[in-house]
Amino acid sequence: MTAGYATRATLLTFHGPPRSSGQGADPQPGMLIPLLALVIPAALLGFLGGYRGWLPFWVSSVGTGEPHAVVPGALTAVLSFVLLVAGVALVYFVWVAHPQRDPLRMVGPLRTPFARGFFADALYDLVIVRGVAAAGRGTLRVDTDGIDATVVDSGRLARWLGALVRRTQTGNMQWYVTCVVVGAVALAVGAVVLT
């Protein structure tokens, strides 16, 4: 499948008549710089493949098992190669027979699943994108209706209590002395009654 897609992309990109009248343009710096930031290290790090000691060094703390080579069996290797050649050959020969047509249009009822990537994007959208969006909406609701509401309501309570206490702060010294005397008498009476 991947071989067929890659062959189709190569044929549509580099062979046959142009499918649009537009002229290609160089990428803008916003696209070129991240691309180079990925391509250059990938190309240079590819040379590490020849040095066999780097992978065990980096993954030595991951597991305790002994490293062993993953060697595909002959059947796996032959079957993979045959499927690769079949995918490339199928797309190529369909292209040679009808170069003006997109090979994807020639697969009949399988065109829609092939064109839509076997609906993997729709599944990702349904499960991952919408799931993450729903979780985000839930988090926003908890933040707005829970956390923010608690903070706002505690601020309102503090303002209300401040307004209540402010009414007692008139600047009248006689009122203050009266409150202190009444409070002291109330404490004394309470101490006598409760003991």
Question: pLDDT at position 121, please?
Answer: 92
For 177-189, the pLDDT digits (tens) are 999 999 999 999 9
Calculate the dihedral angle through the C-alpha atoms of 142, 146, 148, 151, rounding to the nearest 10 degrees: -160
CA 188 and chain centroid, separation: 67
pLDDT of 82 strictly over 80 = yes
pLDDT of 4 strictly over 90 = no
d(C-alpha 82, C-alpha 76), whole Å = 10
Q: How many CA atoms lie within 13 A of 193 on its CB side?
A: 6
> Confidence class of residue 9 from pLDDT cuts 50, 70 and 90?
confident
For 138-157, the pLDDT digits (tens) are 999 999 999 999 999 999 99
* Between residues 148 and 99, the one the model is more confident about: 148
Question: pLDDT at position 165, please?
Answer: 87
For 23-73, the pLDDT digits (tens) are 778 889 999 999 999 999 888 877 766 566 666 666 666 666 676 777 778
> Confidence class of residue 158 from pLDDT cuts 50, 70 and 90?
very high
**Whole-structure pTM over 0.75, yes or no?**
no
Task: Tally Cβ neighbours within 10 Å of residue 89.
Answer: 13
Phi, psi dihedral angles at 169 (to 5 degrees): -95, 80
> What sign has the CA pseudo-torsion 7, 8, 12, 13?
negative
Question: pLDDT at position 20, please?
Answer: 76
Over range 156-162, report the average pLDDT.
95
Task: Tally Cβ neighbours within 10 Å of residue 189.
Answer: 10
